[in-house]
Chain A
Amino acid sequence: MYRYDEFDHAFLAERNRQFRAQVARRLDGSLSEDEFRPLRLMNGLYLQLHAYMLRVAIPYGTLNPAQLRKLAEIAERWDRGYGHFTTRQNIQFNWPRLIDVPDMLDALAEVGLHAIQTSGNTVRNVTADHFAGAAADEIDDPRPWAELIRQWSTDHPEFQFLPRKFKIAITGSPHDRAVTRAHDIGLRMLRRKDGAEGFEVIVGGGLGRTPMLGPVIRDFLPASDLLPYLEAILATYNLLGRRDNKYKARIKITVHENGLDTFRELVEARFAEIAPDFDRQTTAAELARIRAMFASPLLESKSEYAFHEAHQRDPVFRAWADTNLHPHRAKGHAIVTVSLKAHGETPGDATSEQMRLIADLAERYGHGEIRVSHEQNLILPHVARGDLPALHAALKAAGLATANAGLLSDIIACPGMDYCALATARSIPVAQEIATHFDRLRLEHDIGPLKIKISGCINACGHHHVGHIGILGLDRAGVENYQITLGGDGSEDASLGSRTGPGFAHDEIVPAIERILRAYLELRENRDETFLAAYRRLGAAPFKAALYEGNRADAA
């Protein structure tokens, strides 16, 4: 992974020194809250319902054990002994005190982490496929490109005050695990038949109050043009994007209101202007330097006997291995999803103890690599199959071996009104109740692959529009009310879910989800037809009928 050089360290130290002084000036009254607020937000410090929240960037979701241990230490020393992993592949600390934040940032800097550009109208943390560098279906590791984009966009003087925040996602695999079409810019790596490397560039996707799947602005962008082309898109948006209305300020609205063709013409014109002066040599040299740091670990083949033996003997291991492993490009290896979705727990939370254990296990069995997935789990991308039984046993002892990756209880849930100042309803308890309810019914494995995503307000941090089943919590006349969408999908076949109809009260939402899923079990052609496939075959009607069956009066 990327290692900081002296310039990176010096930059971070200087930024942290500045913020420490800003906090001191806030505390002694020289800065008002209005003056201080943008400064703390530039450093990822929010004020939420019950406390401050510090959002730490985890670039493209890649961590090493030292970094994860440092996050554990920070949680324990200055927070409440846990952290919350987010859909942006970041981690959030929910209870820091203002006076401690400068020390927390210094501690982060010791391991090359920071909270810069995790807020504000800037380019946010670049997210990537969490199986990058390991997946069997991958064309190439997208992370060197993601790191290049991170370096280019961090503190970029032209793009610190964009009309609105800006999110870029990148995948190196045709199977889109990075939800590229729901980002301001989505990048999909391509390799043409002649061997030329490039990107399909998607622009103007996003969820929130106006969900849109981004259209393709360039079918094939030669890889060496990436940075000048991104710069052209950002520059065009920076001039054209609306600043009169926060809700119309994202690039998706800019593209939509001006039309893709007009937007593309402006981008291409800007690109033609800046591309000739772009320093390609330096960029290529930097990319080569970065690439060397992302070289694959040496994956030696080991005996798989222990795996086969455990798979035959131990049904608990078998269930876990059948759901939480993903094919690795290297023979005899697997990608492991460490579920942060134990039934009844808060999706994405990990205690300091759990973080330390995962760091130890990554060192022992996983070549020291850890990933954060946008689905709020942790990933060990390179594990020899023969080591899986020992790994599983260690995870199980710490409550980290729930066999539910990609299943019903692997729910994305935003913090919702339990923490968030913007929320209109709770999300976490809904996720917990769905998970425990279906666990009691023992239906989860029978139902099979299913993505439920829950947002506690219209801003859609829980990605509900791209959930196979999406749940949106709203405030209806002072009471929590949950709307359901069906048929959303964040993969390469992306689609936005459709609203079923009237919403449900908090205590009605779990039975409502059960009615939909019982209908699916009745309607599916066989066990291989997933919920999403059945929905696409049958349409919404039979699911709506089941959902509102005998319930019209209550649900209205």
Chain B
Amino acid sequence: MSRKPQLQVVTANALISGHSVWLTASGGWSPRMGDARVFDDPQQAQAALAHATARSDIVVGAYLAPVRAGVAGPEPVHFREAFRRDGPSPAANAHPRS
């Protein structure tokens, strides 16, 4: 039985702003999920997570989130991650980013 590889990204909150960020292929952090590096190898994902966790001067609470491949980069599997990507519902956030 062949199993599809579990696709994952490393995500966290930025230390200073608290905003959701994603680990990119260049090892930086982006506020856009679409920029995230997608891991299909669980060991590599764990290694990247360990590295991210060690950089606690930049981000807080790093973890692996499952994603699926989309046209414009990785897309969330769970709706919680969709909220982290998109921010509060438009109606709930009547006071947009200034």
Determine if chain A interacts with chain B. yes
Residues of chain A touching chain B, judged by Cβ–Cβ distance below 8 Å, are 26-27, 29, 32-33, 47-52, 80-82, 95-99, 344-346, 349, 351, 417-419, 426, 428-429, 432, 475, 478-480
Closest to A478 in B: B78
**28 A-B interface contacts by CB (under 8 A):** A32-B56, A33-B60, A47-B18, A47-B61, A49-B80, A49-B84, A50-B84, A51-B13, A51-B17, A52-B18, A80-B98, A97-B17, A98-B16, A99-B16, A344-B91, A345-B94, A346-B92, A346-B94, A349-B94, A351-B95, A417-B83, A418-B92, A419-B92, A428-B88, A428-B89, A428-B91, A428-B92, A480-B79
Query: B92 contacts A50, CB within 8 Å?
Result: no
Nearest-neighbour CB distance to chain A for B67, whole angstroms, equals 13
Query: B92 contacts A48, CB within 8 Å?
Result: no
Q: Which residues of A contact B15 (CB under 8 A)?
A: 26-27, 98
Q: Which residues of B contact A432 (CB under 8 A)?
A: 91-92
Nearest-neighbour CB distance to chain B for A523, whole angstroms, equals 32
Q: Which residues of B contact A419 (CB under 8 A)?
A: 88, 92
Return the contact of B60 from the options A47, A344, A480 (Cβ within 8 A): A47
- 0 or 1 for each of B65-98: is its CB under 8 Å from A? (1 = yes): 0000000000001111001100111011111111
Once bound together, how far apart are the Cα atoms of A33 and B56, in whole Å? Answer: 7
Query: B92 contacts A429, CB within 8 Å?
Result: yes
Once bound together, how far apart are the Cα atoms of A432 and B16, in whole Å? Answer: 32
Closest to A413 in B: B92
Query: A49 contacts B83, CB within 8 Å?
Result: yes
Once bound together, how far apart are the Cα atoms of A518 and B21, in whole Å? Answer: 46
Q: Does B19 contact A (CB under 8 A)?
A: yes
Once bound together, how far apart are the Cα atoms of A130 and B17, in whole Å? Answer: 34
Query: B18 contacts A50, CB within 8 Å?
Result: yes
B39-64 interface (Cβ within 8 A of A): 56-57, 60-61
Nearest-neighbour CB distance to chain B for A426, whole angstroms, equals 6
Q: Does B20 contact A (CB under 8 A)?
A: yes
Nearest-neighbour CB distance to chain B for A11, whole angstroms, equals 28
Once bound together, how far apart are the Cα atoms of A50 and B87, in whole Å? Answer: 7
Residues of chain B touching chain A, judged by Cβ–Cβ distance below 8 Å, are 13, 15-20, 56-57, 60-61, 77-80, 83-84, 87-89, 91-98
Q: Known contacts A98-B15, A478-B77: does B88 contact A50 (CB below 8 Å)?
A: yes
**Of listed B19, B88, B92, residue having the most chain A CB within 10 A:** B92
Query: A47 contacts B79, CB within 8 Å?
Result: no
Q: Which residues of B contact A96 (CB under 8 A)?
A: 18
Once bound together, how far apart are the Cα atoms of A296 and B73, in whole Å? Answer: 63
Query: B18 contacts A48, CB within 8 Å?
Result: yes
Once bound together, how far apart are the Cα atoms of A33 and B79, in whole Å? Answer: 27
Query: A98 contacts B18, CB within 8 Å?
Result: yes
Q: Which residues of B contact A32 (CB under 8 A)?
A: 56
Once bound together, how far apart are the Cα atoms of A99 and B17, in whole Å? Answer: 8
Closest to A99 in B: B16
Q: Which residues of B contact A80 (CB under 8 A)?
A: 95-98
Nearest-neighbour CB distance to chain A for B61, whole angstroms, equals 7
Once bound together, how far apart are the Cα atoms of A479 and B78, in whole Å? Answer: 8
Query: A478 contacts B79, CB within 8 Å?
Result: yes
Once bound together, how far apart are the Cα atoms of A349 and B88, in whole Å? Answer: 14
Query: A418 contacts B78, CB within 8 Å?
Result: no
Query: A51 contacts B18, CB within 8 Å?
Result: yes
Q: Which residues of A contact B20 (CB under 8 A)?
A: 49-50
Once bound together, how far apart are the Cα atoms of A124 and B61, in whole Å? Answer: 26
Closest to A351 in B: B95
Q: Which residues of A contact B87 (CB under 8 A)?
A: 50
Nearest-neighbour CB distance to chain A for B26, whole angstroms, equals 22
Query: B79 contacts A479, CB within 8 Å?
Result: yes
Once bound together, how far apart are the Cα atoms of A81 and B57, in whole Å? Answer: 28
Q: Which residues of B contact A479 (CB under 8 A)?
A: 79
